[in-house]
Amino acid sequence: MILKGRGISKGKGEGEVVMNASATSFLGGVEPSTGRLTDPALGGRSVKGRVFAFPQGRGSTVGSYVLLEMKRQGTLPAALINALAEPIVATGAVMSGVPLVDHIDLSLLRDGDTAVVDGTRGTVELPNVKECHVVSCIVRDGDKVLLLKRSAEVGTFQGYWAAVSGFVEVGESPQRTAVKELSEETGLDLPIAKEGRMVTVRDRDTIWHIHPFLFEAKAPSVCIDWEHTEFCWVTPQEVKDYQTVPGLAELLHDLL
């Protein structure tokens, strides 16, 4: 799996990901002699030789020189990943020769991931994470939408509630997949009423690219297949009361 971002500091670095959910100052936030993070909430973890991921830098411009001191001490991270690089971290990374890529969605990273950061190409590769493209088909009848409970026979998210869904096969468009899956899983033959923006979420070692589609129906007769054990019609507000697959609430918000 390769995430495309923006290369800020050239070079390539590989290592275990250390995550910090908060903006980070290298001045006071990292011990240059050891590479350890000083925030007690991070358990004294070290970024030495690792890929350090955090939203953005903050604080004094002296933070740039802390990175330079870490280079002298041999405690530099293997690479840096930001959601948005600001001048302090960017300058420090360039001066110390640490690869830095930003414009990366940090919600797709996990502590302990192996990451290969290429600051020249502006990419972050996660070799142990796979990606899948799927469709999610929302069927609306008036003010209610169709939810289906996934059976124990399907490969993922058994027992979860979901919309009609399916994998986009190589060479097949998401639009064609959506119409096909709707027919196979519910017996409904409907045209696409609306196509939403793709949503990307991560669950364990898989990143899911979800292509959402809305179908409009009037008192439809639903006939579920083996992939589901039951179905129900609920208002969008009631969806939160169900254990649903990742990203479903976001899809509904975008489509409805």
- The yes-or-no verdict on residue 178 having pLDDT over 90 is yes
- The yes-or-no verdict on residue 81 having pLDDT over 90 is yes
- The yes-or-no verdict on residue 254 having pLDDT over 90 is no
Q: Locate tokens 């972050």: which residue?
A: 124
- Each residue of 48-76: pLDDT tens digit? 999 999 999 998 889 999 999 999 999 99
pLDDT score at 226: 96
| Residue range(s) of every CATH 3.50.30.10 domain in the chain | 2-125
Q: Identify the band that residue 42 occupies on the pLDDT scale cut at 50, 70 and 90.
A: confident
CB within 8 Å of 140: residues ≥ 6 apart? 146, 214, 215, 216, 217, 256
The residues carrying an active-site annotation are 60
Q: Identify the band that residue 133 occupies on the pLDDT scale cut at 50, 70 and 90.
A: very high
Average pLDDT, the chain: 95
- The yes-or-no verdict on residue 247 having pLDDT over 90 is no
**How many CA atoms are closer than 13 Å to the CA of 81, on its beta-carbon side?**
36
User: Measuring CA to CA, which residue among 4, 94, 98, 121 is closest to residue 52?
Assistant: 98
pLDDT score at 163: 96
User: Token pair for residue 45?
Assistant: 């973890």
DSSP 128: T
Q: For residue 243, how far is the Cα from the chain centroid?
A: 20
The values of phi and psi at residue 71, to 5°, are -65, -45
User: pLDDT above 70 covers what percent of the chain?
Assistant: 100
- The yes-or-no verdict on residue 250 having pLDDT over 90 is no
Q: Locate tokens 């070290």: which residue?
A: 46
pLDDT score at 158: 96
Q: Identify the band that residue 249 occupies on the pLDDT scale cut at 50, 70 and 90.
A: confident
Q: Identify the band that residue 83 occupies on the pLDDT scale cut at 50, 70 and 90.
A: very high
CB within 8 Å of 170: residues ≥ 6 apart? none
The length of the chain is 256
- Each residue of 208-242: pLDDT tens digit? 999 999 999 998 999 999 999 999 999 999 999 99
The CATH number of the domain covering residues in 130-255: 3.90.79.10
Mean pLDDT of 6-19: 98
pLDDT score at 253: 87
Mean pLDDT of 230-255: 92
CA separation (Å) from 241 to 7, 139, 214, 235, 246? 42, 18, 21, 11, 14
Q: Identify the band that residue 120 occupies on the pLDDT scale cut at 50, 70 and 90.
A: very high
Q: In this structure, which CATH number among 3.30.300.30, 3.50.30.10, 3.40.50.1580, 3.40.50.620 belongs to the domain 2-125? A: 3.50.30.10
| Residue range(s) of every CATH 3.90.79.10 domain in the chain | 130-255
Mean pLDDT of 8-19: 98
Q: Which amino acid, 192?
A: I
